[in-house]
Amino acid sequence: MKRRSFLQTTGILGLASPALLEQNTSVPEPIIIATWKNEKGTLAGYQKIMETGKALDGVEAGAWVPEADPNETTVGYGGYPDRDGHVTLDACIMDHLGNAGSVTFLEHIMHPISVARAVMEKTPHVMLSGEGALEFALSQGFKKQNLLTEKSKQVWLEWKKKAKYEPKVNIERHDTIGLLALGKAGEIAGACSTSGMAFKMHGRVGDSPIIGGAVFCDDEVGGACATGLGEFVMKTLGSFLIVEFMRQGKSPQQACEEAIMRIVKRYKYQEFQVGYLAMNKKGEYGAYSIQKGFNFTITKNGKTEVIESASYMS
Ligand code: ASP
């Protein structure tokens, strides 16, 4: 609670001891968490927060790491293409003021998260898509490049022999990076970046660019982000739902569990994975997934740790 609102709500101005006031003005240490095993990403994000103080800079820097990694086949450069051989990217970003930006179906740009940020900061819009997003990116000085690596191309050509669309739970298809951070002022920000489901239909857009789907932040409450089969995250607006659950008083862990149960009950559990990550303004976090195998990475006080998430299926 901010000092002013503490004073307003308690009405004890003049009665509170300096120690008590001090206690109520404290903000948690900067912290950044990300879906899956993303140690280099959270560390880069944490270092950025230490440098600029801002959670928004942290989540952007954190997304840059897998976006530029050719061995990361579900994000940015080296991402598996759609069934026609195009690497198409979705990303979004949201700050503590409720500003948001996103890109969908973007090709040829290594860092879609930064294009999403530019949409947020330099246009009157929230979302740009396809050719329009590319044109905008180029106008902002982003470089056009081929994102399909030889390695990913070979996997796609192999897949084409049978051309059977069957995503495997937790393997190769669900490594979207979703990030949440608290900056030095304790403000929240979130981001998400992906090349989406491998070998998806050309034109398919998942949850990752959807504000409220893959990412949602509200500085009064906290934030949430998602990974997994985006169609189910979109149909339940998972991240928004989690933030609203936290607003009602649930812990980040309880909120993630409720949102997963919403999918499980509504769609009668089928064999797919969705994983959620949430953090409140105190820096408390939680995670939950439908199937086991989901994990997340956290960097705090300069230390990085990968933690296994609890899951609905044992
Ligand atoms: N959520 C992403 C999508 O549906 C995929 C993933 O997380 O792996 O595009």
167: confidence class by pLDDT, cuts 50, 70, 90: low
The CATH superfamily label for domain 30-311 reads (Glycosyl)asparaginase (3.60.20.30)
pLDDT attached to residue 20: 46
- Residue ranges covered by each domain of the chain: 30-311
CA of 74 to the centre of ligand 1 (A): 8
Q: Say if residue 174's pLDDT is above 70.
A: no
**Cβ–Cβ < 8 Å for 277, 153:** no
207 in contact with ligand 1, CB cutoff 6 A: yes
* Strands 127-129 vs 177-182: parallel, antiparallel or unpaired: unpaired
Binding positions for substrate: 204-207, 227-230
Average pLDDT for 10-16: 40
- Does the pLDDT of residue 1 top 50, yes or no? no
What residue ranges in the chain does DSSP mark as E strands? Answer: 31-35, 89-94, 100-106, 127-129, 177-182, 188-194, 215-218, 222-228, 274-280, 285-289, 295-300, 303-308, 310-311
Residue with the smallest CA separation from ligand 1 atom 4 is 230
Inter-helix orientation angle 3-10/18-25, to 10°: 120
Among 167, 163, 175, 10, smallest CA distance to 78 is for 175
Residue 196 CB–ligand 1 contact under 6 Å: yes
CA–CA distance, 136 with 128 (Å, rounded to integer): 8
| CA-closest residue to ligand 1 atom 8 | 174
Would you say the CB of residue 228 lies under 6 angstroms from ligand 1?
A: yes
279 contacts 31 by C-beta, under 8 angstroms = yes
Q: How far from the centroid of its chain's Cα atoms is residue 66's Cα? A: 12
Query: Does the beta carbon of 206 lie inside 6 Å of ligand 1?
Result: yes
Query: Residue 256 has what pLDDT?
Result: 98
Q: Please choose from 35, 36, 194, 210 the residue to mutate so as to test ligand 1's pocket, defined by most ligand atoms within 8 A of CB.
A: 194
Q: How far apart are CA 51 and CA 45, in angstroms?
A: 10
Catalytic residues: 176
Atom of ligand 1 nearest to the CA of 214: 1
* Phi, psi (deg, nearest 5) at residue 84: -100, 5
Report residue 102 as tokens: 């996103």
- Res 191 pLDDT > 90: yes
Question: Which of 177, 197, 289 most suits a substitution to test ligand 1, by most atoms within 8 Å of the C-beta?
Answer: 197
CA 175 to chain centre: 11
> Does 176 sit in the ligand 1 pocket, CB within 6 Å?
yes
Q: Which of ligand 1's atoms lies nearest the C-alpha of 90?
A: 9
Known binding-site residue numbers: 204-207, 227-230
In three-state form (DSSP H/G/I as H, E/B as E, the rest C), the secondary structure along 216-239 is EEECCCEEEEEEECHHHHHHHCHH
C-alpha to C-alpha distance for 309 and 276, rounded to whole angstroms: 9
Q: Taking all residues of the chain, what is their mean pLDDT, rounded to a whole number?
A: 90
Average pLDDT of the segment spanning 284-302: 96
**Amino acid identity, position 24:** N
Ligand 1 centre distance from Cα of residue 97 (Å): 26
In angstroms, rounded to a whole number, what is the distance separating the alpha carbons of residues 59 and 93?
A: 8
CA torsion angle 199 201 203 208 (round to 10)? -60
Nearest atom within ligand 1 for CA of residue 204 = 9
Q: What angle do CA 73, 243, 287 make, to 5 degrees?
A: 50
Distance 9 CA to ligand 1 centre (A): 42
Other CB atoms closer than 10 Å to residue 99's CB: what's the count? 15
Q: What is the pLDDT of residues 103-129, one digit of tens each?
A: 999 999 999 999 999 999 999 999 999
**173 CB near ligand 1 (under 6 Å):** yes
Q: What is the pLDDT of residue 219?
A: 98
User: How do residues 249-266 score in pLDDT, each as one tens digit?
Assistant: 999 999 999 999 999 999
